[in-house]
Amino acid sequence: MHARPRFRSAKRPLALGSSLLIASLALTACGGEEESAHDAGEGILSAACPETVVFQSDWEPEAEHGGMFQLLGDEYTIDADAKLVSGPLMSGGEKTGVTIEIRNGGATVGYQSAQSMLYQDRDILLGYGRIGDQVVAQADTPVTAVMATMNKSPYAIYWDPETYPDVKGIADLKEAGATVNVGSLPETWIDYLVGEGVLDEKQLDRSDAPKPATFVAAKGKLAEAGFITAEPFMYEHEIAEWGRPVAGQMVADAGYPEYFQAISVREADVEAQADCLEKLVPVLQQAHVDYANDPSATNDLIIELVEEYDTGWVYTLEGGEYAHQKALDLGIVANGVDGAIGSFEAERVQTLIDIVDEYTEADMEGVTPESVMTNEFIDPEIGLD
């Protein structure tokens, strides 16, 4: 499992142990709520789900996580030491009878995947993951994805259109001879693009060259990997040394059909927590629809979390608003082929399995779409208009 290479982190604090993640230390109360636990009471989830539904994020708070943070209403508590936020799990403005606890990822957990954390701490019920990454570790930490929060991956390669006016897509960077900074972490999608001849290995910079300094210093000659929902806005509006647009193409549109930030559970919990998931997953679907339709309050919460956690992650409200809108415009957040938000397409998952089988050394024996994802809990009536 690999952390997302993002340049917005000014520092990388030491990894915190799982005991710190679940500790209730100095709490910062918000919305007038000062208790560390919230009233459960009656609600649609109270009889089926754990009293506290624990969710493990994969990174720092950002708009790409908006659908999960949408579950929190006004009565939330931020634990700035443990880097988590909790409160009554809400659906349509009503309490569901349980608490939602959203734990920070990234540096807070030593850049470990949520898939790994699910097996380190059994209190965690749900976590983000990429199907293409998760299948690699299925033998040791089997998980099943129950909802696709994104229909496309926001990963992209971007470049300076002034330097490369004839480049219209990632494949054109090969003919242009542009160096592409992809970072040092092994990524299947990079090996796929090289293996398919879209890029040449010799044009890749696989170092940990710092962002955005390296891109800026190259004065337009360097292409770079990042989020199409984030870096283009940052370079144009937040990086004064650059201050102009970049162009880019999503890796999804270059042939790698990743399901990014899929919500997953331990494989055994598909059955063990079936009663909960049957009621909870539609709530998650509706929360993502609600965030898509009106992100304002949740974006404010995201900025508050960034400030309270104080990990070195830099994020702005304007950047969050851009990310939200860009995800909708580009179909990153969209309904599945069946018209429901959050559903998976088995054929597409099989394509990912085939790519991983070809371009990694992972053992894919017995790995099928049905073993890594399910649409069992998806409500087919819930989707974006």
Whole-number Å distance between alpha carbons of 155 and 232 = 12
Neighbours of 364 (CB within 10 A): 16
Average pLDDT over residues 119-133: 97
User: What pLDDT, on a 0 to 100 scale, did the predictor assign at position 170?
Assistant: 98
Q: CA quadruple 211, 316, 333, 112: dihedral positive or negative?
A: positive
Element (H, E) at 148: strand 143-148
DSSP letter string over 151-165? SS--EEEEE-TTT-T
User: What pLDDT, on a 0 to 100 scale, did the predictor assign at position 135?
Assistant: 95
Is there a cis peptide before residue 61, judged by omega within 30 degrees of 0? no
Whole-number Å distance between alpha carbons of 367 and 271 = 18
User: What's the token pair of residue 76?
Assistant: 């939330």
Q: Is CATH 3.40.50.720 correct for 18-152+258-372?
A: no
User: What pLDDT, on a 0 to 100 scale, did the predictor assign at position 42?
Assistant: 82
For residue 134, pLDDT beyond 70: yes
Q: What's the pLDDT tens digit per position in 140-193?
A: 999 999 999 999 999 999 999 999 999 999 999 999 999 999 999 889 999 999
Residue 155 buriedness (CB in 10 A; 0-12 / 13-18 / 19+): buried
Nearest to 75 by CA among 40, 44, 43, 46: 40
- The percentage of the chain sitting over the pLDDT mark of 90, rounded to a whole number, equals 88
Question: Any idea where the domains of the chain sit in the sequence?
Answer: 18-152+258-372, 155-254
CA distances from residue 378 to 143, 160, 333 in whole angstroms, order as listed = 17, 41, 16
Q: Can 18-152+258-372 and 155-254 be said to share one CATH topology?
A: yes
User: What pLDDT, on a 0 to 100 scale, did the predictor assign at position 41?
Assistant: 60
For residue 4, pLDDT beyond 90: no
Q: What's the pLDDT tens digit per position in 222-258?
A: 999 999 999 999 999 999 999 999 999 999 999 999 9
User: What pLDDT, on a 0 to 100 scale, did the predictor assign at position 14?
Assistant: 28
Q: Which residue has the higher pLDDT, 40 or 316?
A: 316
Phi, psi of 39 (to 5 degrees): -60, 130
Q: Which residue has the higher pLDDT, 39 or 190?
A: 190
User: What's the token pair of residue 157?
Assistant: 């390669």
Helices 274-293, 317-329: axis angle to 10 degrees equals 100
Q: What angle do CA 54, 56, 59 make, to 5 degrees?
A: 150
Average pLDDT over residues 362-370: 93
Average pLDDT over residues 73-78: 96
pLDDT band at 95 (very low <50, low <70, confident <90, very high): very high
CB 36 within 8 A of CB 289: no
State which CATH number among 3.40.50.2000, 3.40.47.10, 3.40.190.10, 2.60.40.10 fits the domain covering 155-254.
3.40.190.10
CB 31 within 8 A of CB 130: no
Average pLDDT over residues 52-61: 98
Is 180 strand, coil or helix? strand
Is 202 strand, coil or helix? helix
Q: Please state which of the ranges 47-51, 119-123, 167-171, 361-365 shows the lowest mean pLDDT.
A: 361-365
Phi, psi of 349 (to 5 degrees): -65, -40
Nearest to 53 by CA among 20, 90, 27, 108: 90
The model's pTM is 0.89
DSSP letter string over 250-314? EGGGGT----TTEEEEETTHHHHTHHHHHHHHHHHHHHHHHHHH--HHHHHHHHHHHHHH-SSB-
User: What's the token pair of residue 96?
Assistant: 């569901």
Is 226 strand, coil or helix? strand
